[in-house]
Homo-oligomer: A and B are copies of this chain.
Amino acid sequence: MEMRKPSRGRPRSFDEDAVLDAVMRAFWEHGYEGTSVATLEAATGLKAPSLYGAFGSKELLYQTALERYACEHGTVLRPDGPAREAVSEFLNEAADRFSESGLPPGCMVSTAALALGATQRGVATRPARMRSETLAGIEQRLRTAVTEGELPTGTDVGALARLFGAVVQGMSVQAIDGATRQELRGLAAVAMAAWPQ
């Protein structure tokens, strides 16, 4: 994205990747407004000017952390094989990831930025778009399953995609509330009963 010519000048004294990982965890656990720059300083060991020099602003830092989360902890539908198995695996992987020990509970995207102060509504647009893309991805997968005969014609793929998306979002809420991995897996299992036929 940005071209670096780091040969000149004083070199960075920190591992940008490790810092971004710590930032991601802080935002993941405490949200955008619940994470202050002082919190990020404590989590990374850096001072504010270093953070701003490397990442620009708190909002840009949040968005960068979001991208990192999507790449490293995100869940996507397996594009091949039966759609039913793909969705089932998707839900089970979410159940496992949302209850990973050593990481904050829940999902950094599914339940992110749902209530923000009026002055910073823009922060919510990227998480919202990511959720919307997840729904669209599920719907597209189901649509293909209909054309391939795996699902009956006339299936309301939009509503079904919203259902599985809601299951993931609800799992994130319940993980934050302390639900165990076993409980989330049970939730994922009974959700598959909504699969047509």
- A156 / chain B contacts, CB cutoff of 8 Å: 186, 190
The complex places the Cα of A29 from the Cα of B121 at a distance, in Å, of 11
- Residue of A34, A115, A116, A191 with highest tally of chain B CB at under 10 A: A115
A-side interface mostly = helix
> Can you tell how many copies of this chain the complex includes?
2
A-side residues, CB < 8 A to B, are 29-36, 39, 106, 110-112, 114-118, 128, 131-132, 135, 156, 158-160, 162-163, 165-174, 176-179, 183-184, 186-187, 189-191, 193-196
Question: Residues of B contacting A191 with CB < 8 Å?
Answer: 163, 166, 194
The reply to whether B174 and A166 form a contact with Cβ atoms under 8 Å apart is yes
Q: In the complex, what residues of B have CB within 8 A of residue A193's CB?
A: 193-196
- Which B residues are in CB contact (< 8 Å) with A106? 114
> Which of B31, B128, B186 is within 8 Å of A177, CB to CB?
B128
